[in-house]
Structure 1
Amino acid sequence: MPDRRTIVVALLTDLVCVVIFCTIGRRSHAEGLSVAGIAETAWPFLAGTAVGWLAARAWRRPLALTPTGVLVWLCTVAVGMVLRRLSGQGVAFSFVIVASLVTALLLLGWRGLATALRRKQIQRS
């Protein structure tokens, strides 16, 4: 089991990645970058990330690309889109595609980078 610090940093990294995704999206669509506006856009995806953490039991292997990262990513997108739809926010097909690709890059990308850095560090030891 990883130490508490690793778990907290991994969770915070996932949450920050989701907020970054939502902030970039709002900016690219010329929507306001207020805290309230970003929160309105981000909450469905943050809820999805939380579901993903629970489904994957991510605290056991928070840095793992599979299955942890993949489950967190899939839940972030799927639950996020369902909650957006239920709350009257847009879920156009093109948005689902872009959201899926960008969140994959962010949520899986940082884990891939962390894995590569860990391997490099182990090789130096």
Structure 2
Amino acid sequence: MHSATRQPLTALGIDLAFVIAFVALGRDTHGDAALVDPVGYLGALWPFGVSLLLASAAVVVLRGRTDGIAAGLVVWFVTLGGGMLLRAVSGQGTALPFVIVAAVTLLVTLVGWRLVLAVARRVRAARAERR
């Protein structure tokens, strides 16, 4: 697979893993483990999953690269906003404490791994320049 194709798919895979973990931890925190109630888990996951897919597609179309910090901010904003909107229209809760926890958790994960990657790239480039 060409690297231009692989990069967005890799970023989407990482983002999706974080969204799946976010929903699983949230459900588990409230005593609704995914293995005990898989339908409830999927019901909680789909709004964020659909929003993440839309966000990732938008970033690919508008920016090309999906592993930069700016791309992460777009992915975070669309995933959070779209996820909350889809939860609201489907009758799921959007209580303010949940929105805050989701916003912080998704920001730290969806932008955080990109930030770590950016720092690692700069360190690698600085080391290469010194050689």
- Structure 1 and Structure 2 fold alike (TM over 0.5): yes
For the aligned residue pairs, the C-alpha RMSD in angstroms reads: 1.6
Larger radius of gyration: 2
Equivalent residue number for residue 60 of structure 2: 57
Which residue of 1 is the match for residue 12 of structure 2?
A: 11
Counterpart of 2:43 in structure 1 is 40
Displacement of 1:118 in angstroms is 1.3
Q: Using the TM superposition, give the Cα deviation of residue 55 of structure 1 relative to its aligned residue in structure 2, in angstroms.
A: 2.7
Describe the SS at the equivalent of 1:3.
helix
Indicate if the aligned counterparts of 1:19 and 1:38 stay in contact, CA closer than 8 A.
Answer: no
Q: Tell me the equivalent position of 2:119.
A: 116
2: CA distance, partners of 1:33 / 1:54: 27
Kept after mapping to 2: 8 A contact 1:23/1:33: yes
Name 1:26's counterpart in structure 2: 27
- State the match for 1:103 in structure 2: 106
For normalisation by structure 2, the TM-score amounts to 0.85
Asked if 1 retains the 8 angstrom alpha-carbon contact of 2:56 and 2:75, the reply is yes
Q: CA deviation at 1:64?
A: 0.9
Task: Percent identity, please.
Answer: 33
Q: What is the alpha-carbon distance in structure 1 between the residues aligned to residue 13 and residue 40 of structure 2? A: 20
Gaps of 5+ in 2: none
Asked if structure 2 preserves the Cα contact closer than 8 Å seen for 1:44 and 1:81, the reply is yes
Q: Is the 8 A contact 2:8 2:60 kept in 1?
A: no
Does structure 1 retain, via aligned residues, the 8 Å contact 2:24–2:33? no
Inter-partner Cα distance in structure 2 for 1:8 and 1:51: 13
Secondary structure of residue in 2 paired with 1:17: helix
SS at match of 1:32: coil
Aligned equivalents of 2:111 and 2:82: distance in 1?
A: 17
The number of residue pairs the alignment matches comes to 123
Q: What per-residue deviation string (whole Å, max 9, x for no partner) do you get for residues 39-96 of structure 1? A: 2211100111112123323671111111x11111011011101111111111101111
SS in 2 for 1:60: coil
Q: Which runs of 5+ in 1 are unaligned?
A: none
